[in-house]
Structure 1
Amino acid sequence: MSELFNNFSTLIVFLHILSAIIWVGGMIVIRFAVHYSMQNIEDPKIKLGRTLENLKRFFSMVIPSIILLLITAVIMILALQLKGTELYKFVIVKELIWTIMTIIFIVIYMKRNKAQKAFDNGDFATAKNQLAPLAQYLIPTNIFLGLVAIILGITLRGF
C-alpha cells in the first residue's frame, strides 16, 4: 500500500479531496441554491418532479464520490501508517463522521426513492412528506458534518 501511495500520492489525495468537494459542495448547492430556486415554481407537481430529478442526478455523482472517498481514505491510512500515531485520533473522528454521513445519505436515498414511487402513483402529499426532512435537517446535518470532516482533513495534512 505504501508503494502505491508513494507512486500516486498526488492523484490519491486529489481524488480524496475532489470526492469530498463533490459530496459536501453538492449538498451545499442543492440546499442553498437549487432548493431556494425551486420555491419559485408554483405548480406542486412540477416542483416535486424537478426536485426528484435534481436529487437523482445529484446521487449519480455522489455515490461514486462516496465510494472513491472511502477507497482513498483506506489507502492513505494504511500507506501513511497512521494507526498508533498521535494523528490516529483525528483519523478515527473523520471515519466516524463520514460513516454517520453515509448513513444519513442512505436515509436520504431511501426517502427519495419512496418519494419517487409515491409521485409516480400520483400521491403527491406522500412524496412531499418523504422529501421534507431532506431539506429541513438531513442535508444540513450532512453539510455541517462534512465541513467538520474537511477541517479535520486539513488538520491531518498540516501535521
Structure 2
Amino acid sequence: MSELFNNFSTLIIFLHVLSAIIWIGGMIVIRFAVHYSMQNIEEPKIKLGRTLENLKRFFSMVIPSIIILLITAIIMILSLGFKETELYKFVIAKEVIWTIMTIIFIVIYIKRNKAQKAFDNGDFTTAKNQLAPLAKYLIPINIILGLIAVILGITLRGF
C-alpha cells in the first residue's frame, strides 16, 4: 500500500480532495442555491418533481465521490503510518465524521426514494413530508460535519 501511495500520491490526494469538494460543495449548492431558487416555483407538483430530479442528479455525482473518498482515505491511512503518531486522533475523528455523514446520506437517499414513490403514485403530501427534513436538518448537518472534516484534513496535511 505504501508503494502505491508513493507512486501515485498526487493523484490519490487529488481524488480525495476532489471527492470531498464534490460531496460538500454539492450539498452547499443544493441547500443554499437550488433549494432557494426552487421556492419561486408555485406549482407544488412541478416543485416536487424538480426537487426529486435535482437530488437524483446530485446522487449520481455524490455516490462515486463517497466511494472514492473512502478508498483514498484507506490508502492514505495505511500508507502514511498515522497509527503510530499523535495525529492518529485526527484520523479517527475524520473517520467518525465521514461515517456519520455516510449514514446521514443513506437516510437522505432512502427518504428521496420514498418521496419518489409517493410522487409517482400522486401522493404529493407524503412526497413533500419525506423531503422536508433533507433541506431543514440532514443536509445542513452534513455540510457542517464535512467542513469540520476538511479542517481536520488540512490539520493532517500541515503536520
In 2, distance between residues paired with 1:48 and 1:60?
19
Secondary structure of 1:42's aligned partner: coil
Matched, 1:89 2:89: yes
Secondary structure of 2:82's aligned partner: coil
1:88-128 per-position Cα deviation (integer Å, ceiling 9, x unaligned): 00000000000000000000000000000000000000000
Please, what is the CA RMSD of the aligned residues? Answer: 0.3
What is the match of residue 41 of structure 1? 41
What is the match of residue 28 of structure 1? 28
Residue 81 of structure 1 deviates from its aligned partner by 1.0
Residue 84 of structure 1 deviates from its aligned partner by 2.2
TM-score (normalizing by structure 2) = 1.00
Secondary structure of 1:40's aligned partner: coil
In 2, distance between residues paired with 1:50 and 1:131?
12
Matched, 1:110 2:110: yes
Residue 155 of structure 1 deviates from its aligned partner by 0.3
Give 1:143's aligned amino acid.
I
1:60-108 per-position Cα deviation (integer Å, ceiling 9, x unaligned): 0000000000000000000001112111000000000000000000000
In 2, distance between residues paired with 1:122 and 1:84?
57
What is the match of residue 120 of structure 1? 120
Secondary structure of 1:68's aligned partner: helix
In 1, distance between residues paired with 2:79 and 2:141?
31
Segments of structure 2 that go 5 or more residues without pairing to the other structure are none
Matched, 1:10 2:42: no
Number of residues paired by the alignment?
159
1:8-67 per-position Cα deviation (integer Å, ceiling 9, x unaligned): 000000000000000000000000000000000000000000000000000000000000
What is the match of residue 133 of structure 2? 133
What is the match of residue 56 of structure 1? 56
Give 1:133's aligned amino acid.
P
In 2, distance between residues paired with 1:156 and 1:134?
31
Name the % identity.
Answer: 88
Segments of structure 1 that go 5 or more residues without pairing to the other structure are none
What is the match of residue 74 of structure 1? 74
Q: Any runs of at least 4 consecutive aligned residues in structure 1 with deviations exceeding 4 A, and if so which?
A: none
